[in-house]
Amino acid sequence: MVSEKSNKRPSKDEAMNAVKTLLSWAGDNPEREGLKDTPKRVVEAYEEWFSGYNEDPHEILAKTFEEVENYDEMVLLKNMRVESHCEHHIAPILGVAHIAYIPDKKVVGISKIARLLDAFSKRLQTQETMTAQIADAIQSALKPKGVAVVIDAKHQCMTTRGVHKTETSTVTSQVRGLFRENEKTRKEFLTLISLKS
């Protein structure tokens, strides 16, 4: 999915030539044996790393279940691996996400929440934006009584370059509904995500 402001997505050959240019700019020879297939491998890696642009988050959450036997307690998926890239340096963001919601007549298959996480994480963005997008998508699709999202991740643009603070992680959170309004509900969520699995 290409931004509305751009005319068209470059071809695979154009992308590989761009990688060759960067290899030359870095000071190496893109034609030497060890680098000859690197442009192809980089483009294939980008297809995987940025596959979220091909996903529609609203479509992922479109199939819901209303036969929930009056279940109205928290549904929590915790310690889900996050693999993303920052939009400023295209450096990896690696960590975990904890996503919870309190149903109001509708639930969604738990794998859909994991797919939603990937749809947003496999794009270039900031962690703050990704956290809000996930919460907004769940709120919009399920209309739950509450949504909570916490992401705890290390940014390689900070750990491997610049200030080199290797042990620093960034924690972002978004809460909606009961998680914002009810301190007891919020504390329960925070307690559950801090428990060792």
Confirm whether 157 is a catalytic residue.
yes
Residue with tokens 């000071």: 27
Q: What is the DSSP secondary-structure string of 88-123?
A: TT--EEEEEEEEEEE-SS-B--HHHHHHHHHHHHSS
Told to judge if 85 belongs to the known catalytic residues of this protein, a careful annotator would answer: no
Choosing from 31, 87, 128, 181, which is the catalytic residue? Answer: 87
Catalytic one among 31, 44, 88, 128? 88
The one catalytic residue in 85, 86, 98, 133 is 86
d(CA 161, CA 183): 39
Pairing of strands 92-102, 75-86: antiparallel
The dihedral over CA atoms of 54, 57, 59, 64, expressed in degrees to the nearest 10, equals 150
Catalytic residue among 125, 127, 133, 174: 127
164 is catalytic: no
Active site residue 87: yes
- Residue 146 in contact with residue 177, Cβ under 8 Å? yes
- Spatial strand order of the sheet with 170-177 comes to 124-125, 75-86, 92-102, 146-155, 170-177
Q: Does the CA dihedral 80-81-86-87 come out positive or negative?
A: negative
| Residue 183 among the catalytic residues | no
Q: Are strands 124-125 and 75-86 parallel, antiparallel or unpaired?
A: parallel
Looking at 85, 133, 155, 174, which residue is catalytic? 155
Residue tagged active-site, from 83, 89, 139, 188: 89
Active site amino acids: 86-89, 127, 155, 157
